[in-house]
Amino acid sequence: MFEWLVSPFLEYGFMQRALLGSLVLSVSCAPVGVFLMLRRMSLTGDAMSHAILPGAAIGFLLFGLEIMPMTIGGLVVGLLVALGSGFVSRFTVQKEDASMAAFYLISLAVGVLLVSWRGSSVDLMHVLFGSVLALNDEALALILGIAVVTFLALGIFWRALVAECLDPLFLRSVSRIGGPTHVLFLVLVVLNLVGGFQALGTLLSVGLMMLPAVASRFWSNDVRALCGIAIAIAVVSSLGGLLLSYHASMPSGPAIIMVAGVAYLFSALFGRRGVLASALPSRRHTSA
């Protein structure tokens, strides 16, 4: 058993890198996912992960399979989509989810066109699904940098993020920080998705962000605890997914997200605030 759990990481350098990369990503993505969920923007993460595709594709077309150009491209396009849809919804009657849908679909179509215009299907597969087993030093440094930025930003703006979710009108009556906080948060979302797409690809990078976050909600009713639980679920999913991918020869990205998916289903059923806890008939009840 010990052998099964540990030896892949002791024997192979690429497994060590994959482990380090996905663990750092877990710690960084999960709290961002928690706030996305609490702001009722769970599907925004998904939309954004599609939206960064043309940016990554442009970087790929100009510079080949290089990390920095693809990352910067993804970042720029992701922010354009986020701010563009925010801008349209702010100045018209259209709600943000509608404009987000429009913008990300345009972006996704452009991205697929760009990737298929030049490049083989292997390249497309890499951009769409990434490869945590092929993380180089540059990619690891990028993921680590994004994690540090995320933690600093969350730490500094914690109060504003909580206030903005809980009572946005109150926050606007005492401070002008609400708007900038929202934009900063969108930047964090895009950053973490871009960090994730090296390892998991654009399609699945959102999985490590949302699944642990949504699963954590079945266990706690406190933001801080939710972030902790989400990180724990993400870490376990990364570890489990990598082991599964190694021993069962599965693609690593989908394996990680599958484990997170199982964690979600388990939490939804058996969590303290899950389906069984609330649906099972009980003769006993608390006195207050």
Partner 1 sequence: MRSTCLEFKDLTLGYQRHAAVHHLSGVVERGSLTAVVGANGSGKSTLMKGVAGILKPISGSIDAAFRRLAYLPQQSDIDRSFPARVIDLVSLGFWQERGLLGRITRSDKTRLFACLAAVGLSGFETRSLDSLSGGQMQRALFARTMLQDADLILLDEPFNAVDERTIRDLLALIRQWADEGRTILCVLHDHALVKSHFPQTLLMARKPVAWGRTADVMTPDHLSAARTFQEAWDENAGWCEEPAPALLPQPAEDLLHDRDVARRAAHV
Q: Using CB under 8 A, list all residues that contact partner 1.
A: 38, 93, 156-157, 159-160, 162-163, 165-175, 177, 217, 220-223, 226
Q: CB of 166: closest distance to partner 1 in angstroms? A: 5
DSSP per-residue codes, 220-232: -SSHHHHHHHHHH
Of 34 and 189, the one with the shorter C-beta distance to partner 1 is 34
Q: CB of 48: closest distance to partner 1 in angstroms? A: 22
Q: CB of 22: closest distance to partner 1 in angstroms? A: 27
| Residue 217 structure tokens | 């909600």
**Strand, coil or helix: 263:** helix
Which among 33, 243, 17, 36 has a CA at the least distance from the CA of 141? 17
Of 35 and 129, the one with the shorter C-beta distance to partner 1 is 35
Kindly compute the dihedral angle of the four CA atoms of residues 93, 97, 101, 102, in this order, to the nearest 10 degrees: 20
Q: CB of 157: closest distance to partner 1 in angstroms? A: 7
Q: CB of 174: closest distance to partner 1 in angstroms? A: 4
Of 118 and 272, the one with the shorter C-beta distance to partner 1 is 272
Q: CB of 195: closest distance to partner 1 in angstroms? A: 25
Do 197 and 52 meet the contact criterion of CB atoms below 8 Å apart? yes
Of 161 and 258, the one with the shorter C-beta distance to partner 1 is 161
Of 138 and 167, the one with the shorter C-beta distance to partner 1 is 167
**Which residues fall within 8 angstroms of residue 129, CB to CB, at 6 or more apart?**
200, 201, 203, 204, 251, 253, 254
Q: b or e along 30-52 (b: 16 or more beta carbons within 10 Å of the residue's beta carbon)?
A: bbbbbbbbbeebbebbbbbbbbb
Do 25 and 199 meet the contact criterion of CB atoms below 8 Å apart? yes
Of 188 and 242, the one with the shorter C-beta distance to partner 1 is 188
